Structure 1
Amino acid sequence: MVTSAAFVAIMLVGVPIGLCLCLAGIVYIAASGNPVLFQSYPLQMFSGVDSYGLIAIPLFILIGEIMNGGGITRRIVEMAMAFVGALRGGLAYVNVLANMFVASILGSATAQVAIMSQIMVPEMERQGYDKTFAAGLTAYAGMLGPIIPPSVMFVVYSVLAQVPVSDMLISGIIPGVLLTVLFCTIIAVMGFVYNFPSGARMTPRERLMTVLRALPTLSIPVVIVGSILTGLANATEAAAVGAIAAALVGRYWTREFRFSQVPEMLLRSGIYSAIVLFLVAAAAVFSWILIFGKVPQEVAGWIQSVARDPVTFMLLVNVILIIIGTVIDGVPGLIMTVPILLPIATEVYHVDPRHFGVVVVINLVLGLLSPPVGLCFFVAAAVTGAKPGKMFMVTLPFFVIAFLMLIILSVWPTLSLALVN
């Protein structure tokens, strides 16, 4: 009880979540009257990051930096425009499809929203779309980032759950593509109701030339996902090869990547990686404290009194995680929930840990688009000047369809496990 009160008090003061977890551990040890536990404290932090799979995180982040600096993102947007730009609401389709392609390289919702808001929102506004809708759509399309591989959140979950990183990345492919299709369906309906503008038509020759210009950029996700699916490389090795592929495409095809940019890219990648890895180290301490205090057992007892079967359990988890995701970012949300809920899911209800991971990640990402915080909306607002509250209301159908897909995914695990199995 003292530890919980200390954790909530520290978090409300505004201390970063990683430090909250570490300080809560210190409070627990001090309150337990067992100072010997302080000797295990640094060992638990070190063991949390002593994992080969975590090397994939800085590599995936570096791929995103190279892709953005090398003009690859813009080529992907142009290719999406060639496919669907002439349809009613064409630029809205382009927004979603371009985000899907970028998601297969970048893997971070907030980073993706920041990048794509700069590219897509001004162009959509210029063609007659409401700025609030354009910014909100970009925020929802950005949630594909942590679902379609590569994904930093899947890597972190893999370490926490002790499951292969490759399995988790593959598990996100079908849900990510399905969510893209559902978003495009919503755009088609809204385009008919609100008479969205149609984009400029390209001649067959212009369309072909645009696709050919962008085609080599698709070698990056093909290398990453293909090497994992074929078993030629694990996730970490695939990330390393993907970084090389991104550098080669940016240097010799788009010719916008310069080696003088590398030190700055490495610095940004290192800073973001350090933040994520510190959270993982803090998670190890937090998990250790939870197990020592028998918190999972107590939570399991309460959940078992409410949920009698796996489906009911998964639906209950959806509600719990959506609420948590509204106030806590994705990776910290994983760190706080997985050590408690995963043992219950696997040992009591026999839920596949890979399926459970996909549901957890999508829940927490959807929480990034939910009031009262809605971090992705605030990122889009910072870039475009739109109002976060209005964004949520204008794009509410996307929230509803994403939540319905989450329920379907919870009931039918085949959607996430088909490719893995």
Structure 2
Amino acid sequence: MHRTLPVLLLALVPALGFAQSTSQLSATDAARALAQEAVIVDTHIDAPGMLTDRWMDLGSDAPGREFDYPKARAGGLDVGFMSIYTSAKQDEDGVAWQAANEMIDSVEALVQRHPDRFALLHSPGDVERLRQGGRVLLPLGMENGAPIGDDLANLQFFFDRGVRYITLAHSAANRIADSSYAIERKWNGLSPFGRQVVAEMNRLGIMVDVSHVSDEAARQAIELSTVPVIASHSAFRHFTPDFERNISDELAKAIAAKGGVVQIPFGTAFVDPRGAADTQAHFRAINDFNQRNAELRAAGKPDLDRETFNREWSQAHPAPQTPIEAVLDQIDYAVQLIGVDHVGIGSDFDGVDGELADGLRTVADFPNLISGLQARGHSDADIRKILGGNLLRTWAAIEAGAR
């Protein structure tokens, strides 16, 4: 069971009406109306990787997918950052550049097939114009800076292709920064090249994203940046002790002090302590598995089978069933800690194998989140900020800083 709210928040429960359980509620008419009227921005949807694995037309109903046009419109989603994700393995194999460009191509193809339903988004100033007619707007966020390689000029290349934030690293250290998941700390934060990357991102107007990186890398990036930074999909470590992938209170306050935002994900691996513990253990087990295979190869013996390892791990560690309250608690805590102007949403839809909080299973479910926030006493004005207003303000400040 997820942790209860901190003492300070619990003191507010009677006054704000937090006592009512929201997991048993269906979205109210008021919540559905606000979902359609407000600008909803989700900073992390992993649809592009799935498109390149197996093409499916997301302009129509796409069974089994968490993002498609009908679901987006049902939920009121206006802006969905498409995650251009590359793995540490792709980086190691030298194919991250190719994979990133293929994913960008797939998003462009989707928009070209349905210009009445989708539009690429390159600037927050274009949101109101482009969303007219019910379009869902698709900016790009690069998850893992690996495709940049060791050439700063590639930042300009990907900016020109539409990338508007870059998660500096992912599950392992790259040329830019250390990862929160990796045991090894190659750079003790940012590499010398990574410091140049942050400066060039500031110059171009690409948002610096500190989700996934080590605490020290995040701290250095926040200090070095001349404009606000974001955490595109990071829950709060307060609820998941020792899980560095989630953001610490100290770093969240530093992001807010710089004018940035922390975007809350919906995945059980982030918002449920049981899921977080399993995720942390999984990465440690992978590290041990890789070390064992290295020893076997050195001894001239065959590797252990990765598919067998993955299957056995999944069977032994089923995802916990997590109520929507776990996400609402994260948002409440964030609002209390860093202020309502610095909180947003970055779901991780299509990126966590369906391991999501109850009531937040697809982009059609944003009214459930809104209904839960309303039931907990948040004003509609504040909910609008959380849904997208804060991210758009931050993005605009970063864009202005580049100019």
Structure with the higher fraction of residues in strand conformation: 2
Which of structures 1 and 2 has the bigger CA Rg? 1
TM over 0.5: no
**What TM-score, normalized to structure 1?**
0.25
